[in-house]
Amino acid sequence: MLVGLDPRVGQLPEPLRPRDANDLVAVAAAYREFCRGVIDVVAPLVAVVKPQSAFFEELGPPGVAVLVEVIRYARERGLLVILDAKRGDIGSTAEAYAAGMIGPNSPWGGDALTVNPYLGDDSLDPFVAAAKQHGGGAFVLVKTSNPGGRTFQDLVSGGQPIYRHVAGLVESLAAGSVGECGYGAVGAVVGATYPAQLAELRAAMPHTWFLVPGYGSQGGAGADVAAAFDQRGLGAVINSSRAIIFAHARKDYAGRFAASEWQRAVEAATREMIAELREHTTARHLA
């Protein structure tokens, strides 16, 4: 599993909220403290974190600087980092994104990057090349968890929905970079909110790692993501963001933790998710 780092000033634990939410430097500093605090809790429990670039970029230069610090801190704590930036462009622009963001020695230092495929196959080439070269990864949007994703992804062309065409391309790229684990350097973003399509795509993409959003606050549960895993309990990383990092505000946790104990709430929510995945998926084989 992985924990998404999606800081939002209005949802931070009370002890960390800046006095002035319009002071971008102060908000960025609060994000730094919050994300480091989350990382300290989850580092012994999960393998991956996924900072959402938008919430840091929203603050301008102070936020971007903190994002880089958060990525480096997560790596220092032994975590893999998927930078959720959904980049996608053509030619030298895509090459610049890939060089800047993918690989532990890149300026941003992400192990993997989320990528938008809708500019075509040549737009993915620089990201795939960087992932192979630097031992990193690229997670391509295939079937996203938001309701509006169906607007384009479910359109039928040539007898198949668009997401199946994207899936075919991603699987071919993954199959061309398979490692000892049986999976390639190119992965797919497939939402937990569409369990039937998740199972369909797992069968169609046997060499592709799945990054599965939509668990937790978006309604996905352990049983919904079971099809993402292979029989060894491999092949998928399940993401939970708000349900873990803002667990102190969850109704089902009301009264259990004081505001100053927000990290205990993060730990409790993380362990709860681990237990559910072990119960409902083949990932229990890894326990």
pLDDT-based confidence at 64, cuts 50/70/90? very high
Indicate the DSSP class of residue 222. Answer: H
Angstrom distance (rounded) from CA 237 to CA 192: 11
pLDDT at 230 over 80: yes
pLDDT at 286 over 70: no
The verdict on whether 50 is a catalytic residue reads: no
Strands 156-157 and 186-190 come out as: unpaired
pLDDT at 237 over 70: yes
> Annotated catalytic residue: which of 50, 86, 143, 251?
86
Indicate the DSSP class of residue 192. Answer: T
pLDDT at 2 over 60: yes
Enter the pTM of the model.
0.95
Rounded alpha-carbon distances, angstroms, from residue 151 to 146, 155, 183:
10, 7, 30
Domain 87-286: give its CATH architecture.
Alpha-Beta Barrel (3.20)
Q: What percent of the chain has pLDDT over 70?
A: 97
Q: What is the DSSP secondary-structure string of 12-72?
A: S-GGG--S-TT-HHHHHHHHHHHHHHHHHHHTTT-SEEEEBHHHHHTT-HHHHHHHHHHHH
- Structural domain boundaries in the chain: 87-286
